[in-house]
Structure 1
Amino acid sequence: MPEDRSLDEFALGDEDADSDATEAADADSDAAEAADDSASDDGDPDAPSDPNDAADPAAVDPAVATSTWHTDGAACDRCGERVERRWRDEDDFVCADCASW
């Protein structure tokens, strides 16, 4: 049976943690500079400068449920059988037997 070990045995020492943090910050800085360089080199004047401006919210289709679940059950829109779980099939919510898998 393996011997129990303290988590302290796996923790980085203070010097190692500082070194790792500095290396991570340098890597993030390099990646940001590379992204800035590639964004200015693509030459697409219509490209949005802010990723949040990429899509017009009015043009995005809202998410729709693919299934529903009711504790008391609900009638299948096709056969009328009362089931707890129904799946979307086009505009209807149907039982597993009526779903077009």
Structure 2
Amino acid sequence: MADDRSLDDFAAPDETDADSDAANDGGADGDSSPARSDDADGVEPAVATSTWHADGAACDRCGERAERRWRDGDALVCADCASW
């Protein structure tokens, strides 16, 4: 059986409760969304490579309805229009 450990055992050594609270409340500007550390690190958020709609959605290139569309640049395209 594993030993019970406090969550404090996993915190970074230089992180305090005040630092953690500031990161979770969005900072001093009053923004209610949490601070995003990935922006400061230059990391881009993940983007889905395909979408699926039960009723289909229009291809951004040909306009035909397709249940599944793939990202091709900024467009969501059907299988026929995708540049594989």
TM-score band by shorter chain is 0.5 to 0.7
Which has more radius of gyration? 1
Q: Give the superposition deviation at 1:76.
A: 0.1
Distance 1:99 1:65 in 2: 15
1:69 equivalent among 52, 56, 59: 52
For residue 85 of structure 1, give the secondary structure of its aligned residue in structure 2.
strand
Higher strand share: 2
After superposition, the CA RMSD in angstroms is 1.7
Residue number in structure 2 paired with 1:81: 64
Alignment of 1:94 with 2:77, yes or no, is yes
Which structure shows the higher helix fraction?
A: 1
Alignment gaps of 5+ in structure 1? 1-55
2:50, 2:57 → 1: CA distance?
A: 12
TM-score, with structure 2 as normaliser: 0.53
Identity %: 78
TM-score of the superposition, structure 1-length normalised?
0.45
Return 5+ residue gaps in structure 2 as ranges: 1-36
Match of 1:80, SS state, is coil
1:57 to partner: Cα distance: 1.5
Which of structure 1's runs of 4+ aligned residues deviate more than 4 A? Answer: none
